[in-house]
Amino acid sequence: MTDARAWLLRLPLVVMGLVSLPSAAQPTLRVRAEARIELGGEPTPLGLRIHGALLDDLGVPLGARELSVSVRDERGAIIARHRLRSDRDGRFHVDVRSPDDTPLRVTAIFGGDASHERLEVERVVDRSRADVRLHLELARGERVLPLDDEGHEVRARVSSDAGGEALELELRDELDRTLARATTDGRGEATFVVPSSELGAPGAGRLVLWTHGDARRAEGRTELPILRRRVATLTLAAAGEARPGEVLVASGALVDAHGPLRRRAIGLFDGDRHLGSVLTDDTGRFEWRGTVAREDAPRLSLVARFESDEPGHGSAASAPVDVVVSVAAPFNPWSLAALLLSVASWLGVRWLWRRARPAPAPTPQRPPIAMAPVSARGAPRDLRRAGRLSNRRDEALAGRVVARDPAGREHHADCAPDGTFALELPPGAWQVRFEAPRHAALETSVTTPHRGEWRAVDVQLESWRERALAVFRRVAGRVPIDGWEKRTLHEMSAQARDPRVRALGRDVERAYYGPLAPSDEDVEALESRERAVQGPPAARTSPHEP
């Protein structure tokens, strides 16, 4: 009987333990928002009326919430303590009796709830000075501050029974850093101009307006929740054609005006079909690889998407990239026989034609710069003393051509939007310089009269980005980096054993992928570090060689 009674006494404990097991294995995550209390006081015939408002971090009233308000004198003794509830507009007030006009310290406490944190606000109310009410707003009327803009206007308005003019104001952020100061005009208004560079990183924050008052007016304080945001830009590139079974490589970058966005998730889509996801690296770049299926024919429309879960950056999507998927026709042996017969016939005709035609004239040598003569046959007459300036991708450059002779005479010409230029040189020896923004200049010697080398030329310039990348490629070819010919710049610098090589790789990576192109001084500094790491660089056999 005694054992049965003991088990009956233990039964509730066993049941409670079994019930608590699932809850112990299921952690609960709660995300709470911030709240704020606007607190003020006005003198009454019998003492003081304390009034305020309870709001969330976006300024939405928190109604039917319980608060505690206490009032102390200068020595810290409690004069009054009240428990009350906010109305549906979040407002509350309480009347306090006080026999004199000594300053009082008012404390309002909100204990928090399931969605908001606990909050305690304290303010000194000086009944010998008039109460000051502050209002703060952005010039655009919104609470989103684009950090891509140069600056922002913030307007303040002061109202008081003693007037709002000539009152000194201070604008701070949520970290209590001073952003700007101003003095109200005759209407009690003031305008602050805050540069975006002073507002801090993207994300949620607050603007705090503060005044110490003066001999007639009491101090005051108010806050305005804001959201600092930057625009994100997402790019995407891929091959324009693929076949089923091939691996398709799509790459791109996610950046904003401040630089790359690191370790962000990028989704690749074919229309609304999700193909996969990747993370951006430390330079904001990403690369996705996928196998092309026969069902992808006749085309893929690739789009990269960045779904932002952070308030400081909005979502972004790249421009669509169309990839044509070519499906091979079924094998036909008769088609192969016809193809072989056609090839044999073509080879026979070519052999007979070569035997019958005269020997070709020797091919003119390429000038010792990235400047190739272009045949003038069939060219317009006004181009027989003209040329074209382009980059290594054969894209036109709007540059400039300058020619000087030993006597100091100078002839120059600006390139047209399509890169063409025309420059008539009198007889003599000339030093000709080709230059374009963000590209390394190129010089050569030309003597007129000539044998046609100045009649029509094609000049290609090397960009400073390409010149910077060539620095690390030369170093990677000399130090022991396995398979460097097939690796990316980031992989090569990470695998180098020499810390100087790794540091050089990081700087070259910033110069090549950075939002601003490097200058000639930047590239010269990198080449100087290259010589310090591995001695003098190998001589270039051609300006096209990186």
For residue 175, which phi and psi values (nearest 5 degrees)?
-95, 10
Which pLDDT tens digits describe the chain residue by residue (546 residues)?
445 555 455 555 544 554 444 443 344 445 456 778 888 777 777 777 888 899 886 678 899 999 999 988 878 888 889 999 999 989 998 888 876 777 788 899 998 888 888 888 887 777 778 878 888 888 776 778 888 888 889 999 998 888 989 999 999 998 889 999 999 999 999 999 999 888 888 888 888 998 988 888 888 888 888 888 888 999 999 988 988 989 999 999 999 988 899 999 999 999 889 999 999 999 999 999 999 988 888 889 999 999 887 778 889 999 999 999 987 655 566 667 778 888 888 888 777 766 665 544 433 333 433 444 433 333 333 334 568 889 888 888 888 989 898 888 888 888 988 888 888 777 888 888 988 888 888 888 877 765 445 556 788 888 888 888 888 777 776 766 665 556 677 777 777 778 888 888 888 888 888 788 888 888 888 888 888 776 444 444 334 433
Let me know: does 143 contact 224? Beta carbons within 8 Å.
yes
CB atoms within 10 A of CB 505: 23
CA–CA gap between residue 508 and residue 246 (Å, rounded): 32
Find tokens 């008539």 and name the residue: 424
Q: What is the pLDDT of residue 354?
A: 65
Q: d(Cα 225, Cα 412) in Å, to the nearest integer?
A: 58
Summarised one tens digit per residue, pLDDT across range 478-500 is 766 665 556 677 777 777 778 88
Confidence (pLDDT) at 499: 83
Contact 145, 152 (CB under 8 A): yes
**373-461 CATH:** 2.60.40.1120
Q: What angle do CA 100, 105, 106 make, to 5 degrees?
A: 110
Please answer whether residues 402 and 433 qualify as being in contact, where contact means their C-beta atoms are separated by less than 8 angstroms: yes
Tens-digit pLDDT profile for residues 11-53: 555 445 544 444 433 444 454 567 788 887 777 777 778 888 9
Q: Which residue spans within 176-262 are E strands per DSSP? A: 178-183, 189-195, 203-211, 220-229, 233-238, 241-242, 247-256, 259-260
Q: In terms of Cα–Cα distance, which of 460, 399, 403 is closest to 431?
A: 403
**How far apart are alpha carbons 206 and 224 in whole angstroms?**
5
Helix or strand run (H / E) with residue 472: helix 464-476
Residue 411 confidence (pLDDT): 85
Beta bridge partners of 135: 157
What Cα–Cα distance (Å) separates residue 511 from each residue in 85, 256, 464, 467? 60, 17, 9, 10
167 contacts 131 by C-beta, under 8 angstroms: no
CATH of 129-229, one of 3.40.1170.60, 1.10.260.40, 3.40.50.10860, 2.60.40.1930: 2.60.40.1930
- Residue 360 has a pLDDT of 42
Tell which residue, 235, 289, 222, has the closest CA to residue 40: 222
Sign of CA dihedral 44, 50, 55, 59: positive
From the candidate CATH numbers 3.40.50.720, 3.30.450.70, 3.30.1490.390, 2.60.40.1930, the one assigned to the domain spanning 31-128: 2.60.40.1930
Domain ranges of the chain: 31-128, 129-229, 233-325, 373-461, 464-534
CA distance 133 to 218: 10
β-pairing, 91-97 vs 78-85, is unpaired
| Fold held by 233-325 | Immunoglobulin-like (2.60.40)
